[in-house]
Structure 1
Amino acid sequence: MTPLPDRYCPTDGVRIPGDSLAWCCPSCHGPLDLDFSPTPARLKSLTGRVNSLWRYAETLPLAAPTVSLGEGRTPLVPLTDEVSAKLDFLMPTLSFKDRGAVMLAELALRAGPRRVVADSSGNAGTSIAAYCARARLPCTVYVPLGTSAKKLEQIEAHGARVEPVDGGREAAAAAARRAADEPDTFYASHVYNPYFLHGTKTYVHELWEDMGGRLPDVLVLPVGNGTLLLGAALAVSELYGAGLLDRRPALWAVQAAAVAPLAEAWAQGAEELTGTTPVAPTYAEGIAIPRPQRARQILRAVRDSGGTFLTVTEDQIRHAQSDLASRGLYVEATGVACWAAVREGALGSRSAVVPLCGAGLKSGLVH
């Protein structure tokens, strides 16, 4: 089996051996990145490969998967002349999080821990639970009180133990981190573990293939913890660095106006979070993250791409969800945020793709 690449702290450079169960930098306790710089395959060589995200094997830090559920290769459909939608709600657990969860479960299977723990507002926990079930690994998911009952039902259906935590999303994450420090425990964190980002980057590799070796002018991406956006930035860098793109698309990051710490920092020209941002209830619970751990990386990725931040109101989210449903696409409130941001002409004549990240059945129609 190929040795696993080292992980390292992007803040202070501390390195962690690839086979370690350590989940954060021992110095600053921040999230880790992966020492891995792959070269993607050329377009013609993808013909005839497995019809899942594992067709991009050259770009993935793990090979020969044993826990795959056929994730990836979701449809790309037009919404307008300029905007297309990638239907990532058609993944095995009905959310884009499967792209990263399969990588974490595969990594955990190779580590052989006593148990796996995760924290989530719903979709990531569901994905981790499903792939741990596939890998026959015991799993506990810490969730904030108020998490959608339908998502909790799905997590439990996969055999995972649910631990509700009072105090919101950050309290659930803190509880999971305490559990992760126990011996022989694998922390399947979609925030701290860089393998998750190397799974989500396949979103862009699929777009590149489906669009015949190019990408749109703009990639519009929802941002809470930023795992899809940071994965997209990785893929763009890989493709451009290999000479497989002649230009980089701009990354437009979308937050709910009710919880928009990154958009606020962006508006102030800051390189990191600027303090305590007011938080209000939002339909877009999946991106309601007051203090994203990778804030500096997210802001830098958007800035380096020539992109920007947009925010959407609760009315815009509600109307966008109804609009997509009227077009035959039933998507959860978080998953419609990007369409809400651009459906009224913000793009001008630029081409764009928006991800529809989670199925409407997970949380229902908002009113």
Structure 2
Amino acid sequence: MLAPMTDYVCPRCQVHAPASALTWCCPRCHGPWDLEFTGAPVSLASLTSRVNSLWRYEEVLPLATEPPQAPHVTLGEGRTPLVPLTGPGTGSGSDSGSDGGIVSAKLDFLMPTLSFKDRGAVMLAELARRLGPDTVIADSSGNAGTAVAAYCARAGLDCAVYVPEGTSPKKLEQIRAHGARTVVVPGDREDTARAARAAADAPGVFYASHVYNPHFLHGTKTYVYELWEDLGGRLPETLVLPVGNGTLLLGAALAVEELYGHGLVDRRPALVAVQAAAVAPLAAAFRAGAEEPSGPAPVRPTLAEGIAIPAPPRAAQILRAVRATGGTFLTVTEEQIRAAQLDLARRGLFVEPTGVACWAAVRAAPGRPGTTVLPLCGAGAKTGLAA
């Protein structure tokens, strides 16, 4: 038996819509949806006997099935390793800082499609499978589109992925290999998003947007549930997260509030957001004390293409989430990204340039006390070494 779908709600206008419809944005302000969903507490002891995929956290997933073992879309995503980056045995320059803090990385580039985007894509594919659209479309600079293409293939859904010109050929090859059509859009990431949103208004289309559809955020929140499980029912003092559209950070914020609200952790970790200095509208707004950016940031070339978003639709939510935890924003230069990619490779971890942004920021920033965890979001095999 399928669990009932909960309603969409616009966080700005309070407009509601059924999640069973193909309405991809608020009809009044055209902003992204949130989801009216409150999960139940997860029992840590029960997890040892559960399915080894994202669906193991069925109490907190709005599309979980009943009974828990009922069929749903999966590629065995999740449960990625947590490994130390500082301390003995971690490679050159491995000593922890003078404050005694330890930095660890969650290897989300070991997901089925080699990026963390699988966490949200599985939710979108499951939702689309239930709704039965004529086609699924997505827009992406590569990783989200690859993940949506793979999970649509698993679910037997027709899929098209809109990508900007200049997208990595290896990512395009991966998307096409999963059977999805690619629509290469002249211009940048924002031009691509506009083209996809225009196509999403056609009848029978499900827009698998990792930005506008909140089911994606409820998938990415499993990143923090896995940390909580791996650390025996606690969370690190600091979570460092890359931010472009903010889907991983907002998912993390959801999980932190749920775990804290259910009394499963006794404090909230600080959320530290990382942007490329070349395109950093949220970092600028944070430093100015603004509730959201005053306008789109200038688009400059950056190696961290996956987080080069000049006007994030959920900007205000991201800024509130960081401030609510006493966190901050950090920015990284192109040279810091290059150096961080090589440093990780020499520690045995080959990660794409966008995926190393958090390590670049941690290397450059003063050490934080306690435990810090950052994600390594995408495999270096997708892009190669930064030029």
TM-score by length of 2: 0.93
Which of 211, 217, 225 is the aligned partner of 2:237? 217
Q: Which residue in the other structure is 1:199 paired with?
A: 219
Q: Which residue in the other structure is 2:48 paired with?
A: 47
Secondary structure in structure 2 of the residue aligned to 1:101 = helix
Matches within 5 A, 1:170-181: 170-181=190-201
| 8 Å CA contact 2:277, 2:333 repeated in 1 | yes
Q: Which residue in the other structure is 2:68 paired with?
A: none
Secondary structure in structure 2 of the residue aligned to 1:47 = helix
User: For each residue in 1:256-301, what CA deviation from the matched residue of structure 2 results, as whole angstroms up to 9, or x when unmatched?
Assistant: 0000000011110000112242321000000000000000000000
Please give the alpha-carbon distance, in whole angstroms, between the structure 2 residues aligned to 1:213 and 1:167: 46
**Letter in structure 1 aligned against 2:60:** T
Q: Which residue in the other structure is 2:60 paired with?
A: 59
Further displaced range: 213-222 or 340-349: 340-349
Secondary structure in structure 2 of the residue aligned to 1:186 = strand
- Asked if 1:352 corresponds to 2:353, the answer is no
Further displaced range: 50-59 or 228-237: 50-59
User: For each residue in 1:198-251, what CA deviation from the matched residue of structure 2 results, as whole angstroms up to 9, or x when unmatched?
Assistant: 000000000000001111110000000000000000000000000000100000
Please give the alpha-carbon distance, in whole angstroms, between the structure 2 residues aligned to 1:162 and 1:232: 30
Please give the alpha-carbon distance, in whole angstroms, between the structure 2 residues aligned to 1:167 and 1:300: 31
CA 1:265 to 1:230, structure 2 compared with 1: closer, same or farther past 3 Å?
Answer: same
- Displacement of 1:2 after TM fit? 2.3
Matches within 5 A, 1:182-331: 182-331=202-351
User: For each residue in 1:280-338, what CA deviation from the matched residue of structure 2 results, as whole angstroms up to 9, or x when unmatched?
Assistant: 10000000000000000000000001100000000000000000000000000000000
- Displacement of 1:347 after TM fit? 2.6
Please give the alpha-carbon distance, in whole angstroms, between the structure 1 residues aligned to 2:237 and 2:161: 38
Secondary structure in structure 1 of the residue aligned to 2:49 = coil
**Letter in structure 1 aligned against 2:169:** A
Which of 170, 180, 188 is the aligned partner of 1:160? 180
Secondary structure in structure 2 of the residue aligned to 1:16 = strand
Please give the alpha-carbon distance, in whole angstroms, between the structure 1 residues aligned to 2:308 and 2:285: 15
| 8 Å CA contact 2:61, 2:218 repeated in 1 | yes
| 8 Å CA contact 1:42, 1:244 repeated in 2 | no
- Displacement of 1:37 after TM fit? 1.1
Please give the alpha-carbon distance, in whole angstroms, between the structure 1 residues aligned to 2:297 and 2:131: 38
Please give the alpha-carbon distance, in whole angstroms, between the structure 2 residues aligned to 1:270 and 1:191: 21
- Asked if 1:78 corresponds to 2:98, the answer is no
- Displacement of 1:345 after TM fit? 4.9
CA 1:276 to 1:178, structure 2 compared with 1: closer, same or farther past 3 Å?
Answer: closer
Matches within 5 A, 1:100-115: 100-115=120-135
**Letter in structure 2 aligned against 1:122:** G
**Letter in structure 1 aligned against 2:35:** L
What is the total number of aligned residue pairs between the two structures? 367
Secondary structure in structure 2 of the residue aligned to 1:343 = helix
Secondary structure in structure 2 of the residue aligned to 1:272 = coil
Q: Which runs of 5+ in 1 are unaligned?
A: none
Please give the alpha-carbon distance, in whole angstroms, between the structure 2 residues aligned to 1:342 and 1:132: 36
Q: Which residue in the other structure is 1:21 paired with?
A: 22
Secondary structure in structure 1 of the residue aligned to 2:198 = helix
- Asked if 1:89 corresponds to 2:109, the answer is yes
Q: Which residue in the other structure is 2:5 paired with?
A: 4
CA 1:97 to 1:118, structure 2 compared with 1: closer, same or farther past 3 Å?
Answer: same
Please give the alpha-carbon distance, in whole angstroms, between the structure 2 residues aligned to 1:70 and 1:48: 15
| 8 Å CA contact 1:256, 1:313 repeated in 2 | yes
TM-score by length of 1: 0.99
Please give the alpha-carbon distance, in whole angstroms, between the structure 1 residues aligned to 2:187 and 2:136: 22
Please give the alpha-carbon distance, in whole angstroms, between the structure 1 residues aligned to 2:368 and 2:327: 14
- Displacement of 1:46 after TM fit? 1.3
User: For each residue in 1:77-101, what CA deviation from the matched residue of structure 2 results, as whole angstroms up to 9, or x when unmatched?
Assistant: 0011410000000000000000000
**Letter in structure 1 aligned against 2:267:** R
- Displacement of 1:54 after TM fit? 1.1
Which of 125, 146, 156 is the aligned partner of 2:145? 125
Q: Which residue in the other structure is 2:98 paired with?
A: none
